[in-house]
Amino acid sequence: MICDVAGRMGLLEILSWARPHDSSVERAFCREYLDRIPGMTADAFGNRMITIGANPRVLWSCHVDTVAARGGHQDVYIDEHGIARLLNGKSGMSLGADDGAGIWIMLNMIEAARPGLYVFHRGEEQGCLGSDWIRRNTPELLEDLGAAIAFDREGFGDVITHQMARRTCSDAFATSLAAALNRLDRGFRYAPDDTGVFTDTNEYAGIIPECTNLSVGYHGQHGPRETLDVAHCEKLLAALLRFDATSLVIERDPSVEEDDCWGWRGHRDDQAAFADAIAEYPTVAARMLAQCGMNIDDFQMAVWAEESGDDHYYRPLAVS
């Protein structure tokens, strides 16, 4: 590999690039870090991908864009507790461990020649543009895979079973993945979690049997106070370098949409039904809003604006 992304220095280097979708910085990053890898290819949308091993069972997924308002270099550091942060973070900036952590893990797995189809998606933060493009235009890429596993989830222990309140992998798969990881690092507490918002693997849930998203150790994504627990990220990589995908249980039929989701699914545009569901599951709703980058101040501002009749206040929610 031309760019050395090994170790903490490599991780910090990736985090030092603020990469809004379709910016010159994002394109330069892809050229520097992805296109120099022998065997890496790009599709017509600019998603980068590489296959390692014959007929891999797993698609590993991350995204190259970050939510930064402007592209460029940013100063990052690791504090005395092993937490990566922005130095002088301001509004419009983010550490970009969402999803620099996923990129770093995947580049190191590639360097170690771990088997898999590795897809570096573009435009996830704009609504999963890259994965939507793949699903529509090159679905053959997704055939014959058993699982799609994204490294794009906050926290330390989630193996996501549902995204947008729709099941994307079986409990048996999530349990087998969590158990495999927990066996590889006795400090891990991975477990199935059904509160996923959405990321690229959600796009593939109608084609690939088991689609999930794994916690990689970041918190407070989409804002200047985003952090990354570097030790967790390193341990996850170490586990993945010894991970055996044949231990995964693949049992979900992607052509069948399981009817075990929240009650409001059939009424997405029905605000009253939505409000009822939120009243019934306030903690889930709060968690989803937080995952979308909204904090309590944002929420109270929005409530205040709504109640004062200020209809100019509108802040579109970004995705995970």
In the complex, the smallest distance separating the C-beta of residue 153 from Zn ion, rounded to whole angstroms, is: 8
Q: Which stretch binds Zn ion (CB under 5 A): 91-99, 141-149, 233-241, 273-281?
A: 91-99
Asked if 98 is part of the footprint of Zn ion (rule: CB under 5 A), the reply reads yes
Among 152, 200, 226, 234, binds Zn ion (CB under 5 A): 152
In the complex, the smallest distance separating the C-beta of residue 5 from Zn ion, rounded to whole angstroms, is: 18
Task: Give the burial class of 171: count Cβ atoms within 10 A of its Cβ; 0-12 exposed, 13-18 middle, 19 or more buried.
Answer: middle
Whether a cis peptide bond, with omega within 30° of 0, leads into 276 is no
Asked if 200 is part of the footprint of Zn ion (rule: CB under 5 A), the reply reads no
Asked if 203 is part of the footprint of Zn ion (rule: CB under 5 A), the reply reads no
Residue position matching structure tokens 């990052």 = 76
Asked if 154 is part of the footprint of Zn ion (rule: CB under 5 A), the reply reads no
| Backbone region of residue 113 per phi and psi (left: phi > 0; alpha: psi in -120 to 50; beta: other values) | left
Asked if 99 is part of the footprint of Zn ion (rule: CB under 5 A), the reply reads yes
C-beta closer to Zn ion: residue 99 or 194: 99
In the complex, the smallest distance separating the C-beta of residue 99 from Zn ion, rounded to whole angstroms, is: 4
Instruction: Give residue 275's identity as a one-letter amino acid code.
Output: A
Q: How far is CA 16 from the centre of its chain?
A: 18
Q: Which stretch binds Zn ion (CB under 5 A): 28-36, 127-135, 144-152, 299-307?
A: 144-152
d(CA 125, CA 317): 10
Task: Identify the three-state secondary structure at position 168.
Answer: coil
d(CA 245, CA 188): 18
Q: Which stretch binds Zn ion (CB under 5 A): 27-35, 97-105, 106-114, 296-304?
A: 97-105
Please give the residue ranges that form the binding site for Zn ion (CB under 5 A): 98-99, 152, 320
